[in-house]
Structure 1
Amino acid sequence: MRNRVFGIETEYAVIYHPGRRETARPTNLEIYQLFESLLGRHVRCLPRAFSLLRSKPGRFLENGASFHYEATPKDFEHGLIEMASPECRDPFTLLSCERAKDQLVETLCREVNQRLPLMGYSGEIRIGKNNVDSQGNTFGSHENYWVEDPLSSYRKLLLLPLWMGLWILSIPVFAWLLLVMLAFIGAMLVLFLLPVAGALLAGLSNVLSRAHQRSALGF
């Protein structure tokens, strides 16, 4: 078998069963935040980098997997819990990672249910895993593969003008980013050096003042 890269990302549906006479329920975003707060108890992870283009919270696990909140801007509080496997080199490793994902999510779900009464909720959370729901909406497991698809010489010639145009257009952008970075570094240096310069000038002024007083007294 040739070496390939395999991966599976799974969208877990968040299902809340309200308790008897319960009128309010936690949003899916609040439920995800509970899951994320408990994640570090079981695996080592780091928060994903902040991006202005993507405000969805999430964390990266030490094995390369990801755990994050998936939602649309319109229904941001009613999203899904999504977990992606690390990049695997064979189907057997991928299957092990997929089962480990399910087990981790189930464990977190049990712990979150134990916290719900402390928050004033009497319901119960369940996690669903499927590809199509009762209304025909598709979600669930999505396979990712790395394949070799080299461009032909003809396609490369067609893309060459586009690549050169993008490269030329990117020069002003990089220049602007460089100026912003230099301005930021300069501002930080000024803010750091001003107190130091003020302290040095104050010390020098005290030394000169004492020397002047001594000369005036004839020492």
Structure 2
Amino acid sequence: MRPRIFGLENEYGLIFSPNGRIYLPMEKVLGYIFEGLIPNSWPSNAFLVNGARFYQDTGCHPEYSTPECDSIVDLVVHDKAGERLLEACLPAAEERLREEGLSGEIYIFKNNTDSLGNTYGCHENYLMRRDVDFWKVTEQLIPFFVTRQIFSGSGKVLKVSGKPQFFISQRAQHIHEKTSSSTTSSRSIINTRDEPHADAEKYRRLHIIVGDSNMSEFATYLKIGTAALVLSMIEDGFNVTGMELEDPVKAIREISRDPTLKKKIRLDDGRQMSAIEIQRAYLERAREYLGTQPYDEVMDDVLSKWAVVLDRLDEDPMQLVREVDWVAKRHLIQSFVEKKGCGWDDPRVFLMDLQFHDVKRTRGLYYLMESKGMVERIVGEESIQRAMSVPPQTTRAKVRGDFIRFARAKNRSYTVDWTYLKLNGYWEETILCMDPFSPINRRVEELVSQVAGLRFYR
């Protein structure tokens, strides 16, 4: 299989709970969080020393974009590193509030909806070949993404006609189009904005905005891994035919409302299939495709896990309480309801729904499960801690991280984007970095060598 660049963008929910009746603009709270990550640069759209991007998105949401990764495992690591970085900012941010006489707690949630019904996203990015017909690829991918929520959804309790109902996905009810160039006004399954952040003659970006943010490392690994595998097989001519849906937007919502996974959705040709059956059609085609390729340990593992997950979902979804976010959340809430003898409309149920996504590990329900060994891990904590300050060593992110360390060590003003690095002011210099696969830039190496005694990770 050809190499590929991956990236994940997560917008986070933010709440300030004051001690007393205090009004504080959320922009100020976010500013204190920024101070912990990017000293002396608020307000900012800034890149970090690990190659990632951190900025304020629409609606005053902190957003973390992973550095470019060329392995799915690296992507899981750096996605989790974003959580850890935000968590690490909380004590200092709360202390800054106390200095101003504004005591209280800051909560950061890796989820996709707020109490007012607004949604914020988790965006997936896959570098793809320019010479492949983009529209033919997207038509084959849409049924896959519509049904993938059965193992990648994060779960949500919503009131429907006044009664609480459990949904598989947080984002599914907010999707309005198959494809669109917008990420807010007409949210789609596949976003068509063509920003490859690379050589535009060779590549374009597949930008997926339909997925939920995942707390589960396993769910992230499988979500990205299956999508990458399906994309590769379509690029290489292993097409998936006959899976076109009559109404993808209707289908994605219907699937989300059925935790039993028995709901049949209508295809263009009049047939009706369940989400599991559609996923199995992609799985079997992927198995055929991998049989023609040189052995790839990660993709072989993804295929194996995909098959096991579909089998368990078919038998009883609750078997996947360790692996799948929506199953774990549903299990927690159901256990609570049975223990307390209350209903799903109890206010504490909606609070649990939110607390599942709290990134503070001593407080978040997902992390309390993790601390008790109740979830499946994919990566080690040591790797996550390292990724907070060290970029992937096999992509362009390494060049960016080295450059930022150099500029900070020299106390130089700088400007950084995905494709260029710039030293500002006297002897201003711009360095282009158009190849996302390259961890080496001769000019940056020359600059780095000027900083005596500064350790750079290679």
Q: TM-score, normalised by structure 1?
A: 0.54
Q: What residue is the counterpart of 1:5 in the other structure?
A: 5
Q: Deviations over 1:82-101 (max 9, x none)?
A: 11000100110000001111
- 8 Å Cα contact 1:12/1:82 also seen in 2: yes
Q: Distance in 2 between matches of 1:132 and 1:32?
A: 18
Give the 5 Å matches for 1:1-219.
1-20=1-20, 22-25=21-24, 27-40=25-38, 57-71=44-58, 79-150=60-131
Instruction: Classify the secondary structure of the residue corresponding to 1:147.
Output: strand
- Please list every run of at least 4 consecutive aligned residues from structure 1 whose deviation after the TM superposition is greater than 6 angstroms: none
Q: Distance in 2 between matches of 1:95 and 1:111?
A: 26
Amino acid at match of 1:101: G
Q: TM-score, normalised by structure 2?
A: 0.27
1:40 Cα deviation after fit: 4.3
1:37 Cα deviation after fit: 1.7
1:23 Cα deviation after fit: 3.0
Q: Distance in 1 between matches of 2:120 and 2:131?
A: 31
- 8 Å Cα contact 1:47/1:60 also seen in 2: no
Tell me: CA distance 1:28–1:97, structure 2 relative to 1, closer, same or farther (3 Å): same
Q: How many residue pairs are counted as aligned between the two chains? A: 133
Task: Could you tell me which runs of 5 or more consecutive residues in structure 1 were left unpaired when the two chains were aligned.
Answer: 49-55, 72-77, 153-219
1:124 Cα deviation after fit: 1.3
Structure in which a larger fraction of residues adopt helix: 1
Amino acid at match of 2:5: V
- 8 Å Cα contact 2:94/2:103 also seen in 1: no
Task: Could you tell me which runs of 5 or more consecutive residues in structure 2 were left unpaired when the two chains were aligned.
Answer: 134-458
Higher-Rg structure is: 1
Greater alpha carbon shift after TM alignment, 110-119 vs 131-140: 131-140
Instruction: Classify the secondary structure of the residue corresponding to 2:12.
Output: strand
- 8 Å Cα contact 1:65/1:85 also seen in 2: yes
Q: What residue is the counterpart of 2:425 in the other structure?
A: none
1:105 Cα deviation after fit: 0.3
- 8 Å Cα contact 1:14/1:126 also seen in 2: yes
Q: Distance in 2 between matches of 1:59 and 1:91?
A: 24
Q: What residue is the counterpart of 1:187 in the other structure?
A: none
- 8 Å Cα contact 1:85/1:101 also seen in 2: yes
Q: Distance in 2 between matches of 1:47 and 1:2?
A: 39
Q: Distance in 2 between matches of 1:47 and 1:93?
A: 28
1:125 Cα deviation after fit: 0.8
Q: Distance in 2 between matches of 1:96 and 1:59?
A: 20
Instruction: Classify the secondary structure of the residue corresponding to 1:116.
Output: helix
- When the two chains are superposed, the root-mean-square deviation of aligned CA atoms in Å is 2.4
Q: Distance in 1 between matches of 2:118 and 2:126?
A: 23
